[in-house]
Structure 1
Amino acid sequence: MKQKNFDVIIVGGSYSGLSAAMSLGRSLRQVLVIDSGLPCNKQTPYSHNFITQDGEKPAVISAKAKLQVSIYKTVQFYNGLAIKAVKRENRFEVSTDSGDVFISRKIVFATGVKDLLPEIKGFSDCWGISILHCPYCHGYEVKSEKTAIIANGEMGFEYAKLISNWTKDLRLCTNGKSELTLEQTQILKNHGVLIFEEEIDSFEHQDGYIQNIIFKNQEKIAVKAIYSRPPFEQHCPIPEKLGCEINEQGLLKVDAMQKTNVTGIFASGDCTTPMRSVAIAISSGSFAGAVINKELIEEDFL
């Protein structure tokens, strides 16, 4: 790639990054999208709760989005991994794993998060398919089915309340001694939620679709769906190295304008919000692009 200087570099070319790129491309901005091709939802078979795209495959949405963004000739794409960024006065230098260096006035991190999946046999095979994170994205498809939640304590209690909206055939697996209060335990039992304290050994499944939870005492329970919220970390360490603040949830801290605490650095999508959905990622990316364009205009009129 011959061009090295851009108005904006977007790190992350999934839904939020592409949405920011479209907004900026339509604003006639010189944009570079750096993407390594590893979206967080790569295993998820269908995307839901996204108007006009409900039930579409995530990869199809991404491919269509990239094709549409490609129409804007001021937007370029770089297939690779951003490994370092340095701020020099009012410019950013971004280095890739191939040794290329690009310069921009603004930078957007739309890099998502990396889920830290438990090392339980079968979990990773089912993640995003029948072990689910969000009922708003996938709950309708497994409504009224035999469902389990893997959580404990306050999270387990609140998660069980939430999921009970979609199914009453519910069991809570604490994967070890319950940390629920006596009051919480009684409330859940009053609502028909079964509580299992045995540690989980493995998950029996067929091509990612869960069949049974196997406990270490060899007891098993049949389920059609599981909800779990494993811990996560930022997929890209660069923002924190640049001085961007991380909030108590482990997310990049942004204001209402998608700005981080470091001037010139913006962030959007899953790396900034616990509401992980394609629709929300797209919305925040589009908004970030518009804000950046306005900021560039203001700077050029000084």
Structure 2
Amino acid sequence: MTRREIIKQGGLALAALALPFPLTAFTKFNRMTDNKKLDVIIIGGSYAGLSSAMALGRALRNVLIIDSGLPCNRQTPHSHNFITQDGEKPNVIAEKSKKQVLKYDTVKFLNDLAVSGQKTENGFAITTKTGEIFETKKLVFATGVKDIMPDIKGFSECWGISVIHCPYCHGYEVRNEKTGIVANGNFALHYAQLIRNWTKDLTVFTNGKSTLTKEQTNKINKHNIPIIEKEIAYIKHEKGHVQQIVFKDNSTFDLKAIYSRPAFEQHCKIPETLNCELTEQGLIKVDMFQKTTVTNIFACGDNASPLRSVANAVATGNMVGAIVNNTMTEEEF
């Protein structure tokens, strides 16, 4: 039964017991859905989306955040390198942020999935999975990216826990540990150069024939970093904590942590359907003010930046909030 059906049947008090936010926030939410013409719709309600919503809420803009509740770091136990929140659980940061943002009366949050978008005479129309349609003058995409896990059993279970992508986010916690790099070519060289600052006990696993150039190989070997070209069968782990890499020839290699950068794709396809350009890397193309190539559409966070961190998502979201509001003030003056 949906929340709306519960209310229709007079079970408002009972429904409130199961809500993740106060009943007052829920009643505000219902009133908002009757007003389906917004100043700004933000698609994606994690760090970047919430940050932009706070700036816009403080600017008295009528804002709707649409979020499906599946952040890409949902498996990561702790967030680091974000001042005031170092070591905090990601969901705790997100929930605290959401609570603060929703104190601003003009900002509302819809737990739904945006499935399509269309250009309209006055802006854009967004349709959600539940069939709701909302109109807006400005669109902000804070939708992140979807990581495409390699065909290695155990990789996805360890992703964000002991198979990590960013030493600035997680490297301190596995400093001086026996560490692997699962990468090839330019990525392998970059990781070897970078991670050596956190640990000298480092090995590169190319998972098959190396594509490193002779010069790159010599650079890595010069620092006594082995390069193993065996194909990986699976990662042995305990509740996401790496224990061994097991190769297809049944040999093994003990490890405590692995760095890797899997391929990714945009989590939301709506920007592309609205003709927003992507970069060669598959990120939404934005300028220094987070403006996409389509007028009145903005993007922030992981979907538009290779710098995947909570701090960067918050920073770019805050920038978008200010730029969107400034754009509207100039249009209205």
Partner Cα separation in structure 1 for residue 62 and residue 317 of structure 2: 16
What does 1:120-159 align with in structure 2 at a 5 Å threshold? 120-159=152-191
Secondary structure at the counterpart of residue 34 of structure 2: coil
Q: Please name the residue that 2:62 is paired with.
A: 30
1:205 correspondence with 2:237: yes
Residue 180 (structure 1) shift: 1.4
Partner Cα separation in structure 2 for residue 288 and residue 253 of structure 1: 14
Q: Please name the residue that 2:139 is paired with.
A: 107
Q: Is 173-182 or 262-271 further displaced after alignment? A: 173-182
1:71 correspondence with 2:92: no
Partner Cα separation in structure 1 for residue 158 and residue 308 of structure 2: 18
Which structure would you say has the larger Rg? 2
Residue 3 (structure 1) shift: 1.7
Residue 175 (structure 1) shift: 0.3
2:71 aligns with one of 39, 43, 46: 39
Number of aligned residue pairs: 301
Unpaired runs of 5+ residues, structure 1, are none
Q: Please name the residue that 1:169 is paired with.
A: 201
Residue 181 (structure 1) shift: 1.9
Secondary structure at the counterpart of residue 217 of structure 1: coil
Q: Please name the residue that 2:261 is paired with.
A: 229
Partner Cα separation in structure 2 for residue 272 and residue 159 of structure 1: 22
Residue 194 (structure 1) shift: 1.0
Q: Is 97-106 or 181-190 further displaced after alignment? A: 181-190
TM-score between both structures, scaled by the size of structure 1: 0.99
Residue 198 (structure 1) shift: 0.3
Q: Choose between structure 1 and 2: higher helix proportion.
A: 2
Opposite residue 254 of structure 1, the aligned amino acid is V
Q: Please name the residue that 1:214 is paired with.
A: 246
Residue 182 (structure 1) shift: 2.0
Structure 1 stretches of at least 4 aligned residues deviating more than 6 Å after TM superposition: none
CA RMSD, Structure 1 to Structure 2 (Å) = 0.7
Per-residue Cα deviation, 1:251-282 (whole angstroms, up to 9, x for no partner): 00000111001011000000000000000000
Q: Please name the residue that 2:15 is paired with.
A: none
Opposite residue 65 of structure 1, the aligned amino acid is S
Opposite residue 189 of structure 1, the aligned amino acid is N
Partner Cα separation in structure 1 for residue 160 and residue 39 of structure 2: 36
Opposite residue 304 of structure 2, the aligned amino acid is T
Secondary structure at the counterpart of residue 85 of structure 1: strand
Residue 186 (structure 1) shift: 2.1
Q: Please name the residue that 2:4 is paired with.
A: none
Per-residue Cα deviation, 1:189-248 (whole angstroms, up to 9, x for no partner): 220101110000000001000000000011100000000000000000000110000001
Partner Cα separation in structure 2 for residue 287 and residue 77 of structure 1: 20
Partner Cα separation in structure 2 for residue 197 and residue 287 of structure 1: 44
1:280 correspondence with 2:312: yes
Partner Cα separation in structure 2 for residue 188 and residue 91 of structure 1: 52
Q: Please name the residue that 1:92 is paired with.
A: 124
What does 1:219-258 align with in structure 2 at a 5 Å threshold? 219-258=251-290
TM-score between both structures, scaled by the size of structure 2: 0.89
Q: Please name the residue that 2:325 is paired with.
A: 293
Per-residue Cα deviation, 1:125-164 (whole angstroms, up to 9, x for no partner): 0000000010100001001100000111122112111111
Q: Please name the residue that 2:92 is paired with.
A: 60
Q: Please name the residue that 1:270 is paired with.
A: 302
Q: Please name the residue that 1:179 is paired with.
A: 211
Partner Cα separation in structure 2 for residue 251 and residue 45 of structure 1: 26
The percentage of aligned residue pairs carrying the same residue is 60
Unpaired runs of 5+ residues, structure 2, are 1-32
1:195 correspondence with 2:227: yes
Q: Is 283-292 or 153-162 further displaced after alignment? A: 153-162
2:112 aligns with one of 61, 75, 80: 80
Q: Please name the residue that 2:18 is paired with.
A: none
